[in-house]
A and B are shown apart, each in its own frame.
Chain A
Amino acid sequence: MSIEVRGVNKRFGDFVALDDVSVSIPSGSLTALLGPSGGGKSTLLRIIAGLEFADTGSVEIEGVEATHLPPQQRNVGFVFQHYAAFKHMSVARNIAFGLEIRRRPKAEVRSRVAELLALVHLTQFAGRLPSQLSGGQRQRMALARALAVEPTVLLLDEPFGALDAKVRQELRDWLRRLHDEVNVTTVLVTHDQDEALEVADEIVVINDGRIEQIGTPDQLYDEPANDFVMSFLGPVTRLGGQLVRPHDLELSTSDPGGGRLCSITRVTRVGFEVRVEIEVGDETVLVTMTRTHYAALGLDLGGTAWVRPVAGAPTVAGSSNAAVQRDFADAG
């Protein structure tokens, strides 16, 4: 294991940021800490980096007890949401910073910086100041700066949070390729479920200072441990008191057996997807399907149909109504 966090507690005044959190992060993996804002995931990352210290509990990095080590002795690379670029230094000097602090020979610094500039596609911007770069370029520079010192772990705190959607998607793909190339143990904090599902080998879901579930994206999506994980990762709707994914519901015009009668109240088409709102008893349920599938069914708005979950669809007993309502709103 590359990072071992054991029994960490952290309070800020009365606010409990982390409540007895333990997690093991394997070497060479890309792990996402996923959860809503204020859930404690950034605090956990900053405790691993040494930018905050745990009240109780311990942190071990690559077998070295690090609980009380100052950040500069942990050999971690940290990337901040708002880049934390050194504004008075050129891109090249930013990247060279960690190496200069370590008093590496000039020639080595120069070749390493050139190598990293190429890796993050910023070679032609080497002499510019950070203020002359776009957000995405700044974040790539920050990544190169963190990688320059060959850290044992790379920690990314909402790295793409301040970027617009398109750049974000590009950088996400790029980060995944970069990770496969340099293979450094990476921990990414994000509140964006798509980002976590797409990029990470393993996801740690954190909410209210506690770990809800740890697993691969498939495990979390297909076997959610509880209603929070189910509703936080991916769309969710409620049928007969059970939480179920809207795309795991099937509609048919004749009773397939085990189906429930429903009326179709609303149909919205968004790109390739069709969202059908149905009423089952007094519940409003969302069903999503492809456009082709919808056309093949031949449903009528205002008409009736039968609905049932597909075989093997993950369902969870829904206890927290608020979370479901929120996600229903997001999905619709």
Chain B
Amino acid sequence: MTDSRVVRYVLRFVAVAYLFLLVAWPVSLVAKNTFAHGWSSMRTALADPIVTGSLKLTVYVAVVAVIFNLVFGVGISLILVRRRFPGRRALSALIDLPLAVSPVVVGLALVLTYNRRDGWLGTTLEDHGFHVLFANPGIIMATTFVSLPLMIREIVPVLEEIGTDQEQAARSLGANPRQTFLRITLPSIKWAVVYGVVLSLARALGEFGAVKIVAGNIAGRTQTATQVVEQTYQDFQQNTAYATSFILALLAVASIVVVSIIRPKGNT
């Protein structure tokens, strides 16, 4: 065996061991604990209306957040790549902010903006009977905020790579801007958008910190699945906590697996 082969095997081992200790093992323990007593933990958890309610809320919030991210993510990506304007780099940096700051800070910022007593926007909205905090709009906003960068960071490099030649060709062949977008741009960035959707969906399902602060953790009303995991775990209902965690992990992993199966080979 030559030296380079030794190095190759050592590097491979380190990478696999790292992933195993950090990701695979802990996640597998969740599964192991969930099914330690067969399906009974799962049955107990799914019989609890607080658990099922929180799962429904989580899925609802995640889907709505992803739809917002889809529309604004594609829009902002197009502006960032195709337009030149003062402050473009600042906007680009701002988009990474939700990835950089702690979700708890995001939640706190939303509370400061939308609270009903002295919030910058909150007082006006409350006067018109629109509740942001401790209600679905707040949860959706927090979730959208933290997952938006994932969508944009998937789309921007692909848009940059395909360039403007195809779009210009479409224009010269008579397509208006809308037709050019639907027939040329969108099909070209299709897989980036799909991957962005999956990543932000997975992220949205698992959001904890920001949601915890804006939602107020009202059981059965504004409690998302991650909050239920925390609460049941602290209330010595470990089995329910494991089962709910397992469902959350399963949803996220399933969406990533589905995409890697349907995505054509050699297409990034």
Chain A contacts to B: CB under 8 angstroms? 49-51, 70-72, 74-78, 80, 82-88, 97-98, 101-102, 142, 145-146, 148-149
- How far is A88 from B183 in the complex, measured between Cα atoms in Å? 10
B176→A72 contact, CB < 8 A: yes
The answer to the question of B169 belonging to the interface, with a C-beta cut-off of 8 Å to chain A, is: yes
A72 touches B172 (CB 8 A): yes
| 8 sample A-B contacts, Cβ–Cβ < 8 Å, listed by A number | A51-B168, A77-B172, A84-B169, A86-B170, A87-B162, A97-B170, A101-B179, A142-B169
Contacts of B169 in A (CB 8 A): 78, 80, 84, 86, 142, 145
**Chain B residues within CB distance 8 Å of chain A:** 162, 165-166, 168-176, 179, 183-184, 187-188, 190
* Closest Cβ neighbor of B167 among chain A residues: A84
B171 pairs with A70, CB closer than 8 A = yes
- The distance from the CB of A326 to the nearest CB of chain B, in whole angstroms, is 31
Shortest CB-to-CB span from B75 to chain A, Å, is: 21
What chain A residues lie within 8 Å of B187 (beta carbons)? 88
Q: Are B172 and A49 in contact (CB under 8 A)?
A: yes
What's the least CB distance linking B167 to chain A, in Å?
A: 9
- A86 contacts which chain B residues (CB < 8 A)? 166, 169-170, 184
Q: How far does the alpha carbon of A88 sit from the alpha carbon of B165 in the complex, in Å?
A: 14
Question: Chain B residues near A85 (CB, 8 Å)?
Answer: 166
A139 to B62, CA, bound (A): 46
Distance of B177 from chain A, by nearest CB (Å): 9
Asked if B173 and A101 sit within 8 Å, CB to CB, the answer is yes
A331 CB → nearest B CB, Å: 35
Residues of B within 8 A of A148 (CB): 173
Bound complex: CA of A74 vs CA of B188, how far in Å?
Answer: 26
Instruction: State how many angstroms separate the Cβ of A140 from the closest Cβ of chain B.
Output: 15
| Contact indicator B172/A71 (Cβ below 8 Å) | yes
Cα distance A172–B166 when bound, in Å?
Answer: 24
Q: Is B166 touching A87 in the complex (CB atoms < 8 A)?
A: yes
**Known A72-B175, A97-B175, A98-B173; further 6 A-B contacts with Cβ < 8 A:** A49-B172, A51-B171, A84-B168, A98-B174, A101-B173, A142-B169
Cα distance A51–B162 in the bound complex, in angstroms: 17
Distance from B168 Cβ to chain A, minimum over Cβ atoms (Å): 5
Q: A86-B184, A87-B188, A101-B179 are in contact. Are A80 and B165 (CB under 8 A)?
A: yes
Q: Which of B171, B172, B174, B190 has the most CB of A within 10 A?
A: B172
A146 to B183, CA, bound (A): 17
A101 and B165 contacting across the interface, CB-CB below 8 Å = no
Most-contacted residue by chain B among A70, A86, A142, A145 (CB, 10 A): A86
Contacts of A87 in B (CB 8 A): 162, 166, 188
CA distance A51 to B166 in the complex (A): 12
Q: How far is the CB of A110 from chain B (nearest CB, A)?
A: 18
The 3 closest A-B pairs by CB, nearest first: A84-B165, A98-B173, A78-B172
Whole-angstrom CA separation of A82 from B166 in the bound complex = 10
A128 to nearest B CB, angstroms?
A: 16
The complex places the Cα of A29 from the Cα of B173 at a distance, in Å, of: 21
Q: Are A72 and B166 in contact (CB under 8 A)?
A: no
Rounded to whole Å, the gap between the CB of B178 and the closest CB of chain A is 11
Contact A78 B168 (CB under 8 A): yes
A2 to chain B, nearest CB (A): 17
Q: Are A102 and B171 in contact (CB under 8 A)?
A: no
When chains A and B are docked, how far (Å) is the Cα of A269 from the Cα of B215?
86
Q: B171 — which chain A residues lie within 8 A by C-beta?
A: 50-51, 70-72
Contact at B173–A97, with CB atoms within 8 Å? yes
CB of B188 within 8 A of CB of A149, answer no
**Option from B165, B170, B172 in Cβ contact (under 8 Å) with A76:** B172
B166 touches A149 (CB 8 A): no
Residues in B with CB closer than 8 Å to A82 are: 165
- Could you tell me the distance in whole angstroms from the C-beta of A92 to the nearest C-beta in chain B? 15
Nearest-Cβ distance from residue A195 to partner chain B, whole angstroms: 21
Chain A residue with the shortest CB-CB distance to B184: A86
Name the B residues within 8 Å of A49 (CB-CB): 172
A contact residues around B170 at 8 Å (CB): 86, 97
By beta carbon, the residue of chain B nearest A72 is: B174
Closest to A83 in B: B165
Residue of B whose beta carbon sits closest to that of A102:
B174
Q: How far is the CA of A49 from the CA of B173 in the complex (A)?
A: 11
- Contact with A84, one of B166, B179, B190 (Cβ below 8 angstroms): B166
Question: Is the pair B165, A71 in contact by a Cβ cutoff of 8 Å?
Answer: no
Distance between Cα atoms of A101 and B172 in the complex (Å): 11
Which residues from chain B contact A97 at a C-beta distance below 8 Å?
170, 173, 175, 183
Q: How far is the CA of A210 from the CA of B109 in the complex (A)?
A: 58
A146 touching B168 in the complex, CB below 8 Å, given contacts A86-B184, A87-B188, A101-B179: no
Q: Which residues of B contact A50 (CB under 8 A)?
A: 171-172
Instruction: Please tell me if the beta carbons of B166 and A101 are within 8 angstroms of each other in the complex.
Output: no
Report the bound CA distance from A296 to B172 in whole Å: 58
Contact check, B188 vs A88: say whether CB atoms are below 8 A apart.
yes
Q: Given the complex, which residues of B lie within 8 Å of A84, measured CB to CB?
A: 165-166, 168-169
A310→B176 CA distance, assembly (Å): 58
Residues of B within 8 A of A80 (CB): 165, 168-169
Q: How far is the CB of B201 from chain A (nearest CB, A)?
A: 24
In the assembly, what is the distance between CA of A88 and CA of B171, in Å? 17
Q: Across the interface, which residues of A come within 8 angstroms of B175, CB to CB?
A: 72, 97, 101
Cβ-closest chain A residue relative to B190: A88
Cα(A149)–Cα(B183), bound, Å: 17
B residues within 8 A CB of A78? 168-169, 172
Report yes or no: B172 in contact with A51, Cβ–Cβ below 8 A.
yes
Name the A residues within 8 Å of B184 (CB-CB).
Answer: 86
